[in-house]
């Protein structure tokens, strides 16, 4: 078992290096100084403490969005509302600290709490519709992401907009509401500790609590769960409410941790990053931490080459997409020859697998 | 909005057909993939890539038809790529579709920048558009002329494709095989059907439809490519297919309903209502329709 986990780790690591190379090398070769591009991408994030700090800052929402996705995917729910929940959570948090008169100490906690509850609707509504009416949570969550975006822009434009600012952004977030910075010279804030704690709690929930165990049974074998007499509907709904709360809370933390004003004009993409993080971490809350750090490292590298060379940082989007495909590729990850190559031993036949057949994965 | 008389309703119909076209084309693509058991979530990215390929190739060759052909090929190739991920690499279908959407959004932006030096828009490329058709005789008739003539060529293609896809699925041996694969792949395989080949074909065809939908966006709806211009229409198409109960005509009516919602939201923005709230309408209608559809199905199951 340890050997096969090791094999999976090695194969994943090699794949990640290959994927980064496949995307980056052609782009670098199209530029005048390919070696400098690669050097900046790979080592640049560690040359300057501020950039290294950027990795941790970016990993913070990625961890929490990944956790939200993992909690829902573990329950078998393909709910993609994390993107919209993150956006709406950030907005509702800013709206709360701007519009509600609160004592300074309560601003951040109350703001984030309200943001989490309001934003979680983007995951909870599809969850309810699935649990109650068996309407596809996949489609309705995709739709509600866009609905959340436009409702959010409406609120910004009509209630929070600072007429003195040139663009459509909110008033300044009051300084008392901001999360304290942890490390001088970087923008790493208290939210990072919250995210780490959330991943720890997520592991306790999924692997050590009764509720998490039930959710995993429903996710891995719904008919067995039905046979046990588990309350499947409420378990499904609960998983998606928890996922929504985490994702939306992450949006609020992101706003109070890093932003001066609410300035998102479109969906920020953190939710999709969360999907990649969760898949890379195999829906394991503890592994979310390295997975999020790794993807953020790529993002910082991409931003650095975008800033220093004439290339858009979108290259990182291509890397993320490839990561998503290759780490779920059973033909690679479960390839007996590869596993034998890594462990030097024949893998045990008939291992318990949570493989999803092509036909079975259509919700 | 009180002066909404019959005449303005009739002039509203071309607007509905215009916004329905990309949804319907993409939804037919989704339908074919779904009936083969390989729901194509990547339709959004395939549309975007089709729109991009149409603009770039028509600008390079000076030919709108070649641009359109390129859009179809781009969509088809992405369909083949998705089925490579699913059938050869054995990756998860839904996640591969999501990956395809991410890659298309990033890839088109990257290529646009490399070609034009601009990340947002293809304004510097002099791309071509596909024509609008005037139907002789009918064009002269007052009401009927507005309804049936003067639409974009792909609008006609989309609506003509509805009976085409319907007949293909329900009345041809190949359509029967495709549905058999979607219904029960194991039994289909036992009956001697090559499941993998049918699913690959379905995904490629689905991609071609999505490519056509994309070509409409950049070579008809507007005459340029802009970053993420598909703006969730592929996901709306997904909803249209689900609402359409898996039939071609149902998919068409669902697409029309969603097109109506989008056209109405555009018209109401012009009437001074908050545009942001109106923009939510095309995304909320599918959710409501899905619930209505699901409730009816539940009741049918309860009765059975």
Q: CATH number for the domain including B17?
A: 1.10.3470
Same domain for A320 and A266, yes or no, is no
Q: Is residue A207 part of a domain?
A: yes
Q: How many angstroms separate the CA atoms of A20 and A296, rounded?
A: 13
Q: Is residue A327 part of a domain?
A: yes
Q: Is residue B1 part of a domain?
A: no
Q: How many angstroms separate the CA atoms of B243 and B253, rounded?
A: 9
Instruction: Give the mutation candidate from B33, B86, B193, B283 for the A interface (greatest A CB count, under 10 A).
Output: B283
Same domain for A143 and A289, yes or no, is yes
Q: Is residue A235 part of a domain?
A: yes
In the stretch 15-44 of chain B, residues with CB closer than 8 A to chain A read 34, 37-39, 41
| DSSP symbol at A176 | G
Residues 6+ apart with CB under 8 A from A122: A81, A84, A85, A88, A141, A144, A145, A148, A244, A247, A248
**Taking 50 as the threshold, does the pLDDT of residue A362 lie above it?**
no
Do residues A102 and A110 touch, judged by C-beta distance below 8 A? yes
Same domain for A138 and A238, yes or no, is yes
Using one digit for the tens of pLDDT, what is the confidence trace for B148-172? 888 999 999 999 999 999 999 999 9
- Among A281, A309, A337, give the residue marking a domain's end: A309
Q: Is residue B47 part of a domain?
A: yes
What's the pLDDT score for residue A353? 43
What's the pLDDT score for residue A361? 38
Same domain for A158 and A19, yes or no, is no
Q: How many CB atoms lie within 10 A of CB B298?
A: 14
Taking CB atoms and an 8 Å limit, are B106 and A317 in contact across chains? Answer: yes
Per-residue pLDDT, averaged over A176-192, amounts to 93
**Taking 60 as the threshold, does the pLDDT of residue A360 lie above it?**
no
Residues 6+ apart with CB under 8 A from B299: none
Same domain for A18 and A103, yes or no, is no
Q: Cβ of B268 under 8 Å from any chain A Cβ? A: no
Decide: residue B253, CB within 10 A, 0-12 exposed, 13-18 middle, 19+ buried: middle
Helix (H, G, I), strand (E, B) or coil at A278: helix
Q: Is residue B46 part of a domain?
A: yes
Q: How many angstroms separate the CA atoms of A75 and A167, rounded?
A: 41
Chain A residues with CB under 8 Å of B185 CB are 358-359
Q: How many angstroms separate the CA atoms of A360 and B190, rounded?
A: 18
Using one digit for the tens of pLDDT, what is the confidence trace for A159-174? 999 998 888 899 999 9
Using one digit for the tens of pLDDT, what is the confidence trace for A211-257? 999 999 999 999 999 999 999 999 999 999 999 999 999 999 999 99
Q: Is residue B296 part of a domain?
A: yes
What's the pLDDT score for residue A2? 65
Give the rounded percent of residues in chain A with a pLDDT score beyond 90. Answer: 76
Q: Cβ of B262 under 8 Å from any chain A Cβ? A: no
Q: How many angstroms separate the CA atoms of B126 and A350, rounded?
A: 59
Same domain for A265 and A125, yes or no, is yes
Domain count, chain B: 1
Decide: residue A140, CB within 10 A, 0-12 exposed, 13-18 middle, 19+ buried: buried
The domain in which residue B186 lies consists of 6-303
CA distance B34 to chain A (A): 9
Q: Is residue B249 part of a domain?
A: yes
Do residues B225 and B51 touch, judged by C-beta distance below 8 A? yes
**Taking 90 as the threshold, does the pLDDT of residue B123 lie above it?**
no
The minimal CB distance from B277 to the residues A80, A138, A150 is found for A150
Domain count, chain A: 2
Per-residue pLDDT, averaged over A318-335, amounts to 89
What's the pLDDT score for residue A32? 86
Same domain for A14 and A108, yes or no, is no
Q: Is residue A360 part of a domain?
A: no
Q: Is residue A42 part of a domain?
A: no
Q: Is residue A354 part of a domain?
A: no
Per-residue pLDDT, averaged over B15-34, amounts to 96
Q: Is residue A39 part of a domain?
A: no
Q: Is residue A336 part of a domain?
A: yes
Same domain for A74 and A152, yes or no, is yes
* Structure-token pair, residue A138: 């996949």
Strand partners, B132: B152
Give the rounded percent of residues in chain B with a pLDDT score beyond 70. Answer: 98
Same domain for A25 and A75, yes or no, is no
Residues 6+ apart with CB under 8 A from B20: B155, B158, B255, B256, B258, B259, B260
Q: How many angstroms separate the CA atoms of B155 and B213, rounded?
A: 10
Same domain for A170 and A203, yes or no, is yes
Using one digit for the tens of pLDDT, what is the confidence trace for A260-277? 999 999 999 999 999 999
Q: How many angstroms separate the CA atoms of A78 and B287, rounded?
A: 16
Per-residue pLDDT, averaged over A81-110, amounts to 96
Taking CB atoms and an 8 Å limit, are A146 and B89 in contact across chains? Answer: no
The domain in which residue A293 lies consists of 48-309
The minimal CB distance from A361 to the residues B92, B293, B297 is found for B92
What's the pLDDT score for residue A3? 67
Whole-Å CA distances, B116 to A212, B33, B90: 51, 35, 37
Q: Cβ of B296 under 8 Å from any chain A Cβ? A: no
Decide: residue B258, CB within 10 A, 0-12 exposed, 13-18 middle, 19+ buried: buried
Q: How confident is the model at residue A346 (pLDDT cuts 50, 70, 90)?
A: low
User: Rg (Cα) of chain B, in Å, rounded?
Assistant: 20
Mean pLDDT of chain A: 90
Among A236-250, B132-146, B209-223, B240-254, the least confident range: B132-146
Q: How many angstroms separate the CA atoms of B250 and B243, rounded?
A: 7
Write the CATH number for A239: 1.10.3470
Same domain for A141 and A116, yes or no, is yes
Q: How many angstroms separate the CA atoms of A226 and A222, rounded?
A: 6
Using one digit for the tens of pLDDT, what is the confidence trace for A6-41? 888 888 899 999 999 999 999 888 888 899 999 999
Helix (H, G, I), strand (E, B) or coil at A335: coil
Same domain for A231 and A100, yes or no, is yes
In Å, the largest CA–CA distance within chain A is 68
């Amino acid at each position: 078992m340890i050997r096969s986990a090791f094999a999976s780790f090695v194969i994943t690591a090699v794949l990640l290096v290959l994927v980064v190379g496949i995307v980056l090398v052609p782009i670098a070769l199209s530029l005048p100084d390919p070696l400098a591009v690669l050097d900046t991408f790979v080592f640049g994030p560690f040359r300057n403490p501020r950039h290294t700090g950027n990795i941790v800052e970016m990993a913070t929402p990625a961890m929490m969005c990944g956790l939200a996705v993992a909690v829902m995917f573990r329950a078998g729910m393909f709910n993609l509302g994390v993107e919209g929940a993150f956006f709406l959570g950030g907005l509702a948090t800013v709206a709360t600290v701007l519009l509600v008169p609160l004592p300074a100490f309560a601003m951040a906690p109350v703001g984030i709490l309200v943001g989490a509850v309001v934003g979680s609707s983007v995951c909870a509504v599809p969850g309810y519709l699935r649990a109650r009416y068996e309407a596809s949570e996949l489609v309705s969550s995709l739709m509600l992401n866009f609905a959340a975006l436009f409702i959010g822009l409406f609120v910004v434009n009509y209630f929070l907009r600072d007429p003195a600012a040139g663009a459509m952004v909110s008033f300044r977030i009051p300084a008392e509401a901001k999360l304290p910075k942890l490390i001088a010279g970087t923008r790493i804030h208290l939210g990072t500790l919250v995210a780490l704690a959330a991943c720890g709690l997520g592991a306790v929930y999924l692997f050590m609590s009764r509720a998490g165990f039930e959710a995993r049974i429903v996710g891995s074998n719904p008919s067995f769960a039905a046979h046990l007499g588990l309350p499947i509907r409420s378990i499904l709904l609960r998983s998606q409410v928890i996922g929504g709360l985490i994702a939306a809370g992450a949006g609020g933390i992101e706003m109070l941790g890093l932003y001066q004003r609410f300035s998102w004009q479109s969906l920020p993409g953190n939710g999709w990053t969360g999907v990649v993080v969760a898949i890379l971490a195999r829906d394991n809350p503890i592994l979310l931490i390295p997975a999020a750090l790794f993807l953020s490292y790529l993002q910082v590298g991409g931003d650095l080459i975008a800033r220093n060379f004439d290339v858009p940082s979108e290259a990182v989007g291509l890397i993320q997409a490839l990561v998503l495909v290759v780490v779920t590729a059973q033909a690679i990850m479960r390839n007996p020859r590869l596993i034998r190559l890594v462990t030097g031993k024949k893998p045990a036949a008939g291992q318990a697998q949570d493989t999803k057949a092509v036909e079975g994965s259509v919700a | 909005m009180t002066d909404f008389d019959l005449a303005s309703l009739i002039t509203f119909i071309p607007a509905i057909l215009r916004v329905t076209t990309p949804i319907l084309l993409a939804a037919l693509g989704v339908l074919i993939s779904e009936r083969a058991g390989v729901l194509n979530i990547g339709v959004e990215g395939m549309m975007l890539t089709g729109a991009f390929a149409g603009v770039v190739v028509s600008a390079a060759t000076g030919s709108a038809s070649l641009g359109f052909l390129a859009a179809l090929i781009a969509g088809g190739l992405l369909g083949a790529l998705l089925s490579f991920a699913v059938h050869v690499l054995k990756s998860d279908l839904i996640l591969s579709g999501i990956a395809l959407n991410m890659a298309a959004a990033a890839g088109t932006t990257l290529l646009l920048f490399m070609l034009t030096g601009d990340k947002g828009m293809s304004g510097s490329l002099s791309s071509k558009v596909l024509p609008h058709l005037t139907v002789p005789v009918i064009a002269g008739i007052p009401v009927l002329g507005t309804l049936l003539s003067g639409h974009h060529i792909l609008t006609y293609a989309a609506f003509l494709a509805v009976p085409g896809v319907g007949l293909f699925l329900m009345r041809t041996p190949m359509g029967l095989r495709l549905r058999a694969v979607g219904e029960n792949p194991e039994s289909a395989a036992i009956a001697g059907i090559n499941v993998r080949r049918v699913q690959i074909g379905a995904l490629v065809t689905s991609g071609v439809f999505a490519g056509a939908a994309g070509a409409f966006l950049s070579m008809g709806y507007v005459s340029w490519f802009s970053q993420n211009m598909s703006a969730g229409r592929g996901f709306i198409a997904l909803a249209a297919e689900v609402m359409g109960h898996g039939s071609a005509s149902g998919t068409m009516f669902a697409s029309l309903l969603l097109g109506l919602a989008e056209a109405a939201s555009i018209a109401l923005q012009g009437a001074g209502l908050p545009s942001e709230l109106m923009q939510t309408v095309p995304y909320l209608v599918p959710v409501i329709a899905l619930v209505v559809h699901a409730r009816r199905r539940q009741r049918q199951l309860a009765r059975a």
